[in-house]
Amino acid sequence: MAMHASQKAATVLCAVSLIGGLAATSALAGSDAPARVDRSYANPQPPYPDTAQSNGEQGTILVDVLVRASGKPAGAKVERSSGYRDLDDAAVQGVLNWRFVPAMRGGDWVKDWTTVKVVYQLPTLMPPASPAAYQKP
């Protein structure tokens, strides 16, 4: 069954959240801070591959991102797979287009790793209404 583009956009969820970076466990008090997603920038959600949707694939991917001192990603790799290569690849490619706040050490912006979580979830369908719901009293 083919879906109209606006229907498809309403039926998938790609939630993204920050897990923290390697620096999160080693950051010192003061001016040191881990790299993180720049929430002030409209980072696009990674696309939900059509084939994954039609195959009923969903899952959570942890993506390690190497963030440059400029805040742009230098690279990314799957830390924990969803079990579906197409979802993993889409998540990695998606976060490579994001902006980040770089890590700070001793008052200087530095290159460091951070980890983001990308969740692909198909909607739960509501059961059809019973015929009695359409009858007039």
Domain ranges of the chain: 12-40+58-123
Other CB atoms within 10 A of residue 15 CB:
11
Query: CA-CA distance, 39 to 122, in Å (whole number)?
Result: 25
Q: Are 21 and 34 in contact (CB under 8 A)?
A: yes
pTM summary value:
0.72
Q: pLDDT digits over 44-101, tens only?
A: 999 999 999 999 999 999 999 999 999 999 999 999 999 999 999 999 999 999 999 9
Q: pLDDT digits over 10-40, tens only?
A: 234 444 444 544 444 344 445 899 999 999 9
Give the tokens for residue 71.
């805040």
Position 124 scores a pLDDT of: 77
